[in-house]
Amino acid sequence: MSPAELDMAAGRVTASRRELAALVAWHQGRGVPGDPVIAGLGSAGLVDGGNIHPMLRPVVAVLSRVLVRAVVRSWRGEPSPMAEVLAGPAGVVVLPGGHEPDTPQALRWHPRPAALARVLAGVIDITAEDGPPPFDAAPRAWRSYLAAACDPADGISLVDLRWSGRPDVPVASALVVTWCERGGAGEIVPDAGDPALMACRPQHPIELWTTLTGLARGAGV
Amino acid sequence: MGTMTLLHRRDTTAARHLGSGAGEVDVDVPFGWVRSDDPGAALLVARPSGWTGPVVPSLTLARVVSAEAPTLAAYADCMVPSTLLSLGGHLVHLGSGHRPVDHLDLTIATEQWGSDLTVTARHVMRPGGGAVVATGAAADADWAELAATLLRAVRSLRVRWRPVGGAP
C-alpha cells in the first residue's frame, strides 16, 4: 500500500522517497510504463491520468532540478530522523522523515529559493536565546557530545548540518552546533591540538544565523 | 545582493524629538547611509547610497504604538508574540537587558513583499510605558555582509526621556 496521502483540508501532502523518485522520473519522461509506484500514487489521488496533482507539482519541479542539498542530522534527547532540505530554481523542499525509501515524508515546499536560509533555520531550530553553551572549551571526543545530546535529562541539542552547494558534489559537514533548551549555543569545531577531538566554541544565535545566510548566499540561490 | 564600502565607520548621530515633550532619540547612522527627507510616520529612515542590490537595506526609528507595559517583562510578553504574528517567520534571537536602559532585542528572519529579509530591532522602554524602536533590515543574501553594521547601528539607540509631567 502506498504511504502517499493527500489531505486537501489541511493542505498536507505525504509521499515516500521512493514515490517521489518515481514521480520525478515519470515527469521527466524516464518512467516505466505500468510502474506500480505511480499506480499507487494514482490511488492516493496524487496522479490523475497524465497529470500530477497541483499540490505536488511544485515539489516535483524542485526535485527535478536540485542545486543545493542540506542534510540535517540531529539529536534532541534522542536521535531524530534525518531531515533533508533541497533547493533549486523552483524553490525549496523539506523532506523531514529520514532517509528510508518507504517512510512517509510530510512534504514542505517554499516557492522562493532565496528562502533557503530561513527554511533551514526552521528545520534546525537553534535556540534564540544567548547564554553559556552546553559545554566548556575543553576538547572532547565526538561521542561525548553525542552522549550528552542523547540524554533526555541534559536538555541539550546537537545538530550536524551537511551541505552541498552544487549538484555533483557530495554533502560535507558545514556546521555542527549544540545548544541548551534554556538558551546558549556553541559551534563544535576540530580541536587545534588534537584533530581526533573537538571543542565547543560559544556562538551567539545571530552569528549562527549569519553562517546559514552565508552558506545560502555562497550557493547562489 | 548589494555592495558598499566603508560601512563600519560612524557617520553621525541622528537626533530626533519624540514630540509632545516626550524627549529625544539618537542613533548612529552608518557611514555612507543617507537619511530620508520624508520618513513618513517614522522618526528617521536611512539607507545606504549607491546600493546595487534588489533590496535596499534600511535603518528606521519609530515610536511604538502599543498598550502601556509597566515592566520590561510585560513589554516583552506583549511585543514578541505581536511581532511574530504580524511579521511571521523564524525567531533568530530574543534578548533583553537593563543596561544601559531597559531594552528588548529581537532578530527575525521573515518574508515581506516577496523578499526574504533579516530584521533586527532594539526596543528601548520608558519606565511606566512607551517605547522607541530602532530597526535594521536587509535581504538574507546581504545579511552576512551587513550584520555587524546593522547590529551596531540598531544597538546605538539612545533615548532621553523627559520626566512624566515635566516641562515640554
> What ipTM describes this predicted complex?
0.91
Q: Cis bond leading into B100, ω under 30°?
A: yes
pLDDT reported for residue B168: 40
pLDDT at B160 over 70: yes
pLDDT reported for residue B12: 56
Residue B128 CA: distances (Å) to CA of A103, B21, B24, B71, B164: 55, 16, 17, 7, 9
CB contacts of A213 in chain B (<8 Å) are: 118, 140-141, 143-144
Nearest to B92 among A115, A128, A214 (CB): A128
Average pLDDT over residues B58-69: 82
Q: Which of B1, B93, B112 to mutate to test the interface with A (most CBs of A within 10 A)?
A: B93
Whole-number Å distance between alpha carbons of B27 and B64:
16
pLDDT reported for residue A169: 94
pLDDT reported for residue B51: 93
Average pLDDT over residues A75-101: 97
pLDDT at B84 over 90: no
Nearest to A118 among B1, B89, B114 (CB): B89
Helix axes A17-27, A57-64, angle to 10 degrees: 80
For residue B40, count other CB atoms closer than 10 A to its CB. 9
CB contacts of A114 in chain B (<8 Å) are: 115-116, 139-141
For residue B125, count other CB atoms closer than 10 A to its CB. 27
Strands A68-76 and A156-164, how do they pair? antiparallel
Whole-number Å distance between alpha carbons of A112 and A119:
10
In the 8-state DSSP scheme, what is residue B117?
Answer: E
Is residue A200 within 8 Å of A136, Cβ to Cβ? yes
Provide CB contacts within 8 A for A172, sequence distance 6+. Answer: A162, A163, A164
pLDDT reported for residue B144: 95
Which is more confidently placed, A209 or B78? A209
pLDDT at B158 over 50: yes
φ/ψ region of B6 (left if φ > 0, alpha if ψ in -120 to 50, else beta) reads left
Whole-number Å distance between alpha carbons of B110 and B118:
6
Phi, psi of B158 (to 5 degrees): -130, 135
Query: How many beta-carbon pairs under 8 angstroms link A with B?
Result: 65
The CA distance from B119 to the nearest CA of chain A, in Å, is: 11
pLDDT at B76 over 50: yes
pLDDT reported for residue A142: 97
pLDDT reported for residue A79: 96
Nearest CA in chain A to B146: A210
Summarize pLDDT for B139-152 with one digit per residue, the tens.
999 999 999 999 99
The CA distance from A151 to the nearest CA of chain B, in Å, is: 25
pLDDT reported for residue B115: 93
CB contacts of A115 in chain B (<8 Å) are: 111, 116, 140
Residue A24's nearest CA partner among A12, A37, A34, A14 is A37
The CA distance from A65 to the nearest CA of chain B, in Å, is: 21
pLDDT reported for residue B8: 38
Whether B118 sits inside 8 A of A214 (CB atoms) is no
Phi, psi of B87 (to 5 degrees): -95, -30
Average pLDDT over residues B80-96: 88
pLDDT reported for residue B15: 62
If interface means Cβ-Cβ distance under 8 Å, which residues of chain A face chain B?
112, 114-115, 117-118, 121-122, 128-130, 204-206, 209-210, 213-214, 216-217
Provide CB contacts within 8 A for B5, sequence distance 6+. Answer: B32
Which is more confidently placed, B4 or A6? A6
Q: Which of A130, A204, A208, A213 to mutate to test the interface with B (most CBs of B within 10 A)?
A: A213
Q: Which of B83, B92, B103, B154 to mutate to test the interface with A (most CBs of A within 10 A)?
A: B92
pLDDT reported for residue B120: 97
pLDDT reported for residue A218: 86
Burial (CB count within 10 angstroms: exposed 0-12, middle 13-18, buried 19+), residue A51: exposed
CB proximity B95 to A under 8 Å: yes
Residue B100 CA: distances (Å) to CA of A9, A171, B156, B159: 51, 45, 11, 11
pLDDT at B57 over 50: yes
CB contacts of B140 in chain A (<8 Å) are: 114-115, 117-118, 213, 216-217
pLDDT at A197 over 70: yes
State the pLDDT confidence band at B113, using cuts at 50, 70 and 90. confident
pLDDT at B6 over 50: no
Nearest to A118 among B109, B114, B120 (CB): B109
Summarize pLDDT for A105-147 with one digit per residue, the tens.
999 999 999 999 999 999 999 999 999 999 999 999 999 999 9
Average pLDDT over residues B67-79: 79
Q: Which of A210, A211, A212, A221 to mutate to test the interface with B (most CBs of B within 10 A)?
A: A210
Q: What angle do CA B88, B94, B95 make, to 5 degrees?
A: 155
Whole-number Å distance between alpha carbons of B54 and B115:
9
Nearest to B93 among A122, A206, A216 (CB): A206
Summarize pLDDT for A16-67 with one digit per residue, the tens.
999 999 999 999 988 777 889 998 999 889 998 778 999 999 999 999 999 9
Residue B156's nearest CA partner among B77, B78, B101, B79 is B101
